[in-house]
Structure 1
Amino acid sequence: MKKTAAAALAFFLLALAPASACTLFGAQGSEVEGGGTLLVKNRDWHPQYQEMRYEEGPRYRFYGIFGGSSGKMFLRGGVNEAGLAVFSAAASSIPQKERLSMEHEKKSCIREMLGKCATVEEALALDVLFRGPKFLMLGDARELACVEIGDHGEFRVKRMKNGTLAHTNHYLFRKFQSLNRRIGQSSLTRYEKIETLLGSSHEPYVLENLMEFSQDRHDGPDNSLWRTGSGKKQDETLASIGVWLHEGKKPDIYVKIRYSPEDQGKEDVYQLEGKDLFPE
């Protein structure tokens, strides 16, 4: 194969690499009724196939959301039996062409974390895997963390106890502001909305409260937390996954998901307790 052809093929394959425009948010400690951590991911992308899949890693079983074509599905996030959850979001404030030209991970950091790690501390120690611009939100029963990854393995971490965290698709750390080539209106609106909801006066949250936030449609089809899309080329919310990570117990999960691209408005909704999610 000629060099130019090989380069073209490589770029084409990169273009098919997993990406998503999502909203990530959570609450920890005194913000949670019963203690522990709540963590939610709204998965926004062009309509495609999805599934929830149970897998066994080197150390831990995990339950993850996979999305893509019917022939190739990519792991987008999940929770393991030890009580670690990891979800990702795309750094869409960097134009896609530039983003795809940057360094990319050689293997999924999400899969490695869920398969091998029990805590946020252990997962963050795998920072050699932080390659390619993206955002991660991680949680265990004792803390939440948000990771912003830039280029050349640069990253910044915010860790939180007794509070809330949220992230959409643009960089928040001062160190990475130059990477915000263009910040989409949807990313800004969703971030401001979820921050407002999380900051409103409330009793300690339960998982159902945060799942209600995930369904908010106040800002229209393209800018709401739950996006229906104003046209065929607009992203839509394809799934919402929430977890409760509590000390000494296996995690509980709440899922709203459409499995086929055409099933908007026909999403399956279910809840599983830890003993059912990861039976002995």
Structure 2
Amino acid sequence: MIAKNRDWIADHRQVLKLVIPKHGYRYFGIHAEGNDEPGLKAGINEKGLVVVSSTAGSISRKLRKESDRTKGLLAKLLNESDSVDSALKKERMFVGPRNIMLADKTKIAVIEIGLNGEYSVAVKQ
């Protein structure tokens, strides 16, 4: 089980979308729309992989905005991964300050991504 609060300022809409790509896994995702931080915030794919993001609050907003980052990271992980293990093999994508939480039927993981390509991973069975 995985849970995430959505305690942002109420300056946007949250929309549940079914994404059916030409290639890869289908997924349901919660998207923010209508603010300066639009995009996919959480999702679950057809294989049961859950991917959720949260802000790396210890890094200033200015630094987070200026940093290189993998665009569409959550969508890529949901589209291309069938498990926590397969998502964790995509470490080349772990760029840009944020936290990513992953879960499948047997495992959970937290990826803390910092600046300059640094990241850490914690996994629980």
Q: TM-score, normalised by structure 1?
A: 0.42
Matches of 2:80 and 2:61 in 1, distance apart? Answer: 31
CA shift, 1:78, in A, is 0.3
Separation in 2, partners of 1:63, 1:78: 5
- Structure 1: where are the runs of 5+ without partners? 1-37, 162-280
In structure 1, distance between residues paired with 2:68 and 2:101: 20
2: CA distance, partners of 1:44 / 1:134: 16
Matching residue within 76, 79, 83 for 2:41: 76
Q: Assess if the C-alpha contact under 8 Å between 2:49 and 2:82 holds in 1.
A: yes
Pick the structure with greater CA Rg.
Answer: 1
Distance, in Å, in 2 between the alignment partners of 1:144 and 1:104 is 23
Q: CA RMSD in A?
A: 1.5
Equivalent position of 1:115 in the other structure: 79
2:5 counterpart residue number: 42
Tell me whether 1:150 sits opposite 2:114 in the alignment: yes
CA deviation string 1:86-134 (max 9, x = no partner): 00000112221122222222x2111011111110011111111111110
Q: Which amino acid aligns with 1:85?
A: V
**Shift in Å, 1:152:** 2.0
Q: What TM-score comes out, normalization by structure 2 length? A: 0.90
1:88-167 matched pairs, under 5 angstroms: 88-105=53-70, 107-161=71-125
Q: Distance in 2 between matches of 1:126 and 1:56?
A: 21
User: Secondary structure at the residue paired with 1:92?
Assistant: coil
Conserved? CA contact 2:15–2:33, under 8 Å: no
Does the alignment pair 1:85 with 2:44? no
Amino acid of the residue matched to residue 80 of structure 2?
Answer: K
Q: Deviations over 1:181-222 (max 9, x none)?
A: xxxxxxxxxxxxxxxxxxxxxxxxxxxxxxxxxxxxxxxxxx
**Residues 128 and 153 in structure 1, CA contact (< 8 A), matched pair in contact too:** no
The answer for the alignment partner of 1:59 in structure 2 is 24
Cα distance in 2 for partners of 1:160, 1:154 equals: 21
Q: Distance in 1 between matches of 2:104 and 2:29?
A: 16
**Which structure features the higher share of helix residues?**
1
Unaligned runs of 5+ in 2: none
- Partner of 2:65, secondary structure, is helix
Q: % of aligned pairs identical? A: 34
SS at match of 2:4: strand
AA at the equivalent of 1:61: R
How far does the alpha carbon of each residue in 1:110-166 deviate from its partner, in whole angstroms, 9 at most, with x for none?
A: 1011111110011111111111110011001110000000112211100001xxxxx
Distance in 1, matches of 2:84 and 2:44, equals 12
- Residue identity in the other structure for 1:118: D
Q: Distance in 2 between matches of 1:157 and 1:56?
A: 29
Q: CA deviation at 1:73?
A: 4.0
